[in-house]
Amino acid sequence: MDRKLLTEQLWADPVTKLPIEIKKKLSAQEQKDQNREYITGVFPFPEIGPLSIYDLGVLKDLPIAKTYDKVANPSIEEIFRTAKQYYEDFPKRCRAVSWQNDRESEIEVIWRDGEKIHFNHYFNMDGQRYTQYHLDLPTTVEDILVWEKTQPPISIYIHDEKRNYNRSHHPAFEDFKTPKTRVTRGWRRGLPAAAHFIEEQWRYMIGRDPKQLEFIDDAPASLTKYIGIKGESSDNRRDHYIDPEHDYIRVQNIWCKMRDGQWEKEREYITIEMAQLPDGQWYVTKRKLINYPDPERGTRGSERNYIIDIELLEANKFPPDTFNGEKLLEDAEIETY
């Protein structure tokens, strides 16, 4: 194959100038972790590329929503700037616990020290079938912290500022999953979804473009004391109600779907109670999730109530090896990426 060396690691076709091959030598640690000396790759190019987005599988009758010419409302941009400041100022050294006090379900425990994170995900299981994995309800955060020391988490996530580690294994599920513990180790890809109950307070602005949102002018009377903003497409709508008196936390989030020309609720997150940390920051302590019946999918409605407890910690108050991901590799099948 004719090729031209462009850099120390990249070759290109001398005629088309397109890259065709790459070869990168790994660092000594990466070679040890991945059991290889180089990463190599090739770049194949078809003779004829797609002529339009429809050649890529996009439906031709799909409605087109133009966003490039939208201008953000300056007031919404200011809301984003203020909320972002509250989000960034929220303490980054803490222990947080989330659970449901009215049904056996997941229990999440998070330790955070700056960018270092340790997240444990537990199942509070049926007390008759799995006595050793059961916690009586209602319970308290103190009881959970005692109980969780005796429990194997369903999954563990650790980020030590450089790498993330994910470990999944639980003896109660050995009949359904391989009993071999598996750990994936690699560069950070973000928190597990269940661990976002702190970030969820400002979710309306995290990673969002203010140009895609506008103010709500038809809010229910019970919500008019809050700031209402919405994001809307042809058949989906998200309403966010923000409390400027409590650190611009989102106190209500309503998911709607267009059915027969009417907006119908699909899901609703409601803040029930808040509390203040010692330095004055507000956070949600009780939250309700309502899932409405979906006639299209034949699902029934449901309701879940969550409790959240946050405690600020000193640097020396974390359990030993809290952020030591290498400890998870003992007796585990390791996958590196």
- Closest among 317, 310, 284 to 96, alpha carbons compared: 310
* Residue 290: per-residue pLDDT: 95
Go through 177-215 and write b for each residue having 16 or more CB atoms within 10 A of its CB, e for each that does not.
Answer: eeeebebbbeeeeebbeebebbebbbbbbeebebebbbe
Backbone angles phi, psi at 240, to 5 degrees: -125, 130
* Residue 66: per-residue pLDDT: 56
* ∠ CA 249-252-257, rounded to 5°: 135
Name 241's bridge partners.
Answer: 228, 252
Residue that the structure tokens 């997941």 belong to: 106
Per-residue pLDDT of the chain (337 residues; tens, 9 = 90+): 566 655 567 778 888 778 888 888 887 777 887 888 888 888 887 777 787 778 877 777 776 665 555 666 889 999 999 999 999 999 989 999 999 999 999 999 999 998 889 999 999 999 888 899 999 999 999 999 999 999 989 888 888 877 888 887 777 776 444 445 556 665 555 566 556 778 889 999 987 888 889 999 999 999 999 999 999 888 899 999 999 999 999 999 999 998 888 899 999 999 999 999 999 999 999 999 999 988 777 788 899 999 999 999 998 889 889 999 888 877 666 655 4
Domain boundaries, the chain: 4-56, 63-337
Architecture of domain 63-337: Clam (2.50)
- Closest among 152, 122, 164 to 335, alpha carbons compared: 164
3-state secondary structure of 85: helix
Would you state the structure tokens that stand for residue 241, as one six-digit string? 């109600």
Q: What is the largest CA-CA distance in the chain?
A: 72
* Residue 107: per-residue pLDDT: 95
Backbone angles phi, psi at 142, to 5 degrees: -65, -45
* Residue 322: per-residue pLDDT: 94
Intra-chain end-to-end CA distance of the chain, in Å: 30
Rounded-to-10 torsion of CA 284, 285, 286, 291: 50
Contact 150, 134 (CB under 8 A): no
Residue that the structure tokens 């294994």 belong to: 169
3-state secondary structure of 270: strand
Would you state the structure tokens that stand for residue 178, as one six-digit string? 């391989």
* Residue 178: per-residue pLDDT: 46
* Residue 145: per-residue pLDDT: 96
* Residue 221: per-residue pLDDT: 93
Name 283's bridge partners.
Answer: 275
d(CA 189, CA 23): 24
Would you state the structure tokens that stand for residue 177, as one six-digit string? 């999953």
d(CA 92, CA 141): 20
d(CA 205, CA 189): 20
